[in-house]
Chains A and B, each alone.
Chain A
Amino acid sequence: MSTTTDPAAQNPAPTTMAATRPLMAAKGGARTLAVTSGKGGVGKTFVTANLAAALAARGQRVLVLDADLGLANLDVVLNLHPKLTLHDVFTDKASLEQAILPAPGGFHVLLAGSGMVEYSRLTPEVRDKLLNIVELVRPRFDWVLLDTGAGISDVVLFAVSLASQVLVVATPEPTSLTDAYATIKVLATQQDRREVGLLVNQASRVGEGKLICGQLQQVLQRFVGAKPGHSFKLDLLGEVKQDTSVRQAVLKRQLVMEHFPGSDAAQGIKALALKLMER
């Protein structure tokens, strides 16, 4: 996942080709990381928000962009009631500066807002607007995290293509693993990604992440990386153990990083942040 091996940097893609390969070259500005999952309900937004807080705690300037256009719930997780959203920026009702809001946890957010449902179809216009917004915010932050929607729709693939790095969140559940595998396969074959990060959420024991990653890697090797010259690496970036404090924090709409900093889950997220900063 280091920026030097970024496929986009080696092979800049034409901006008109959506969802085929990463669009963002890793030149100056924030590192861009898309957080995606395949299946919904595996804790993708939870991970994104807490990762942002963990990075912020390390002195990083972080923006979380709600790229889950049709089904945004970052505001729910963070208990924010934004007056201005990405929707207002898209419709020129607000400037980008007005819509970037401080969030609990010491980072910033750009929320999609419920009006974004109409953008759940990926038109060239929506594509250009999103691309433009990511370009505009990158010089001002160290990290731009894109919280994408669940699934492998064109909007999700496009949002992922805006980032130079990808983090796939999966739980040990079979359905989650299958969907994570499908997502990773699509990213490897359609976006020509050579490296994708994995976070195993809700692990029931230490080491489960490693086991799952190894298994996914094995299947990917067989079905994706079998072609000569096409190596693919699934990079285990962390594991977050199943933890009752997560449920408590989610129900209270708080960040685990802030309210249960000593919990297993918070430790897992901290380790993830550190690993990401090292790469």
Chain B
Amino acid sequence: MDKSLTTAQIDASRLRLDMAMQLLQQAGALLPEAEPYGEDWLQAVIDALCDLSSKDALTGLVNRRSFEMALSREVDRVARSGESALLLMLDIDHFKAVNDTYGHAAGDLVLKAVAAALNQVVRPMDTVARVGGEEFAIVLPSCAASYGLMVAERVRERVSELRVEVAPGQILAVTVSLGGAFAPQWVRSSSLLWMERADRQLYRAKAEGRNRACLETQVDSLVSAEEKGMLFAVTQQESE
């Protein structure tokens, strides 16, 4: 589409933007610095709204909608590249008791603390999301099957080290249960199926006593290092 044509047709000052601006202000989002109602300004408003609608208001993590998009992208990538990717589903143990005993404000503090801990413990390329009340999810691209349990354990431990001060002098310890599943390599699956599989492992972790990680068993590379060595021995000599 011809850009100049469309900008000529839209007069941004005539758009109803009060609600959008109020939302951005309330969320503490950076308001666009550009000249109001110009193209750059309008783009910045749209960008800020996109950012706002993809994040969870309380924790600042990616929200469920945005997470499902990330998950679908990852499914496509794995189906084509065959690279291993892990999905972890997490649930705060006995969270209802925290809310019931200390109130919802305390519950919110716990959620925020867990969210921050999760963000710190993963790689920048991983996506951490809040997908439900006390439910979180992490998608880890390029995560080899042999590292899966180690990664899940690291997350679990990091959360278990948290001490959340929910009221002056009132310090709570938090634990999470984790379930994990790898995306099926080379196979186009759906993000929904993937979440279902990880969820099943989460239920298992809960049933086995909480504060633990359960991963779906998966066949690691079928080809051993010895086999690979032999496989490429000749071609390497050839190319040298």
Q: Do A and B bind each other?
A: yes
The chain A residues found within 8 Å of chain B, CB to CB, are 38-41, 70-71, 117, 120-121, 149-153, 155, 172, 174-175, 177-179, 181-182, 185-186, 211-212, 214-216, 218-219, 222-223
Known: A40-B80, A182-B222. A219 touches B231 (CB 8 A): yes
Q: List 29 A-B contacts (CB under 8 A).
A: A38-B186, A39-B82, A39-B186, A40-B80, A117-B190, A120-B187, A120-B188, A149-B186, A149-B187, A151-B82, A151-B185, A152-B222, A153-B186, A155-B187, A172-B235, A175-B82, A177-B232, A181-B223, A181-B231, A182-B221, A182-B223, A186-B222, A211-B235, A214-B234, A215-B231, A215-B235, A216-B231, A218-B230, A222-B230
Cβ contact of B188, chosen from A71, A185, A215, cutoff 8 A:
A71
In the bound complex, what is the Cα–Cα distance between A243 and B62 (angstroms)? 46
B240 within 8 A of A: no
B2 within 8 A of A: no
Q: Are B231 and A153 in contact (CB under 8 A)?
A: no
Q: Which residues of A contact B231 (CB under 8 A)?
A: 177-178, 181, 215-216, 219
B238 within 8 A of A: yes
Question: Least Cβ distance of B153 to chain A in Å?
Answer: 28
Q: Which residues of B contact A172 (CB under 8 A)?
A: 235
Residue of B nearest to A41 (CB): B80
List 20 additional contacts besides A40-B82, A181-B223; criterion CB under 8 Å: A40-B79, A70-B189, A71-B187, A117-B188, A117-B190, A120-B188, A149-B186, A149-B188, A151-B82, A151-B185, A153-B187, A177-B231, A177-B232, A181-B231, A182-B221, A186-B222, A211-B235, A212-B235, A215-B235, A219-B227
In the bound complex, what is the Cα–Cα distance between A262 and B73 (angstroms)? 40
Q: Please provide the chain B residues from 167 to 225 with a CB less than 8 Å away from any CB of chain A in the complex.
A: 184-190, 193, 221-223
Q: Which residues of B contact A211 (CB under 8 A)?
A: 234-235, 238
In the bound complex, what is the Cα–Cα distance between A71 and B230 (angstroms)? 33
Q: Are A120 and B189 in contact (CB under 8 A)?
A: yes
Q: Which residues of B contact A174 (CB under 8 A)?
A: 232, 235
Q: Which residues of A contact B82 (CB under 8 A)?
A: 39-40, 150-151, 175, 179
Q: Are B80 and A219 in contact (CB under 8 A)?
A: no
In the bound complex, what is the Cα–Cα distance between A70 and B216 (angstroms)? 22
Q: Total interface residues on B, using CB and 8 Å?
A: 23
Question: Least Cβ distance of B25 to chain A in Å?
Answer: 43
Known: A178-B228, A182-B222. A151 touches B234 (CB 8 A): no
In the bound complex, what is the Cα–Cα distance between A120 and B228 (angstroms)? 30
In the bound complex, what is the Cα–Cα distance between A155 and B187 (angstroms)? 9
Question: Least Cβ distance of A35 to chain B in Å?
Answer: 15
Q: Which residues of B contact A117 (CB under 8 A)?
A: 188, 190
Residue of B nearest to A121 (CB): B193
In the bound complex, what is the Cα–Cα distance between A174 and B186 (angstroms)? 16
Most chain A CB within a 10 A radius of its CB, from B80, B184, B188, B221? B188
Q: Which 9 A-B pairs have the closest CB atoms?
A: A151-B186, A71-B188, A182-B222, A70-B188, A153-B187, A219-B230, A150-B186, A182-B223, A215-B234
Question: Least Cβ distance of B72 to chain A in Å?
Answer: 13
Q: Which residues of B contact A185 (CB under 8 A)?
A: 222-223
In the bound complex, what is the Cα–Cα distance between A6 and B71 (angstroms)? 43
Q: Which residues of A contact B193 (CB under 8 A)?
A: 121
Q: Which residues of B contact A222 (CB under 8 A)?
A: 230
Question: Least Cβ distance of B167 to chain A in Å?
Answer: 49
Known: A185-B222, A211-B234. A70 touches B228 (CB 8 A): no
Q: Which residues of B contact A71 (CB under 8 A)?
A: 79, 187-188
Q: Which residues of A contact B189 (CB under 8 A)?
A: 70, 120
Question: Least Cβ distance of A97 to chain B in Å?
Answer: 29
Question: Least Cβ distance of A87 to chain B in Å?
Answer: 15
Residue of A nearest to B190 (CB): A117
Residue of A nearest to B82 (CB): A39
Residue of B nearest to A118 (CB): B190
In the bound complex, what is the Cα–Cα distance between A198 and B223 (angstroms)? 18
In the bound complex, what is the Cα–Cα distance between A219 and B231 (angstroms)? 6
Q: Which residues of B contact A186 (CB under 8 A)?
A: 222
In the bound complex, what is the Cα–Cα distance between A153 and B187 (angstroms)? 7
Q: Which residues of A contact B184 (CB under 8 A)?
A: 153
Residue of B nearest to A212 (CB): B235
In the bound complex, what is the Cα–Cα distance between A150 and B184 (angstroms)? 12
In the bound complex, what is the Cα–Cα distance between A214 and B235 (angstroms)? 11
In the bound complex, what is the Cα–Cα distance between A38 and B186 (angstroms)? 8
Q: Please provide the chain B residues from 135 to 161 with a CB less than 8 Å away from any CB of chain A in the complex.
A: none
In the bound complex, what is the Cα–Cα distance between A25 and B221 (angstroms)? 32
Question: Least Cβ distance of B185 to chain A in Å?
Answer: 6
In the bound complex, what is the Cα–Cα distance between A66 and B223 (angstroms)? 28
Residue of A nearest to B238 (CB): A211
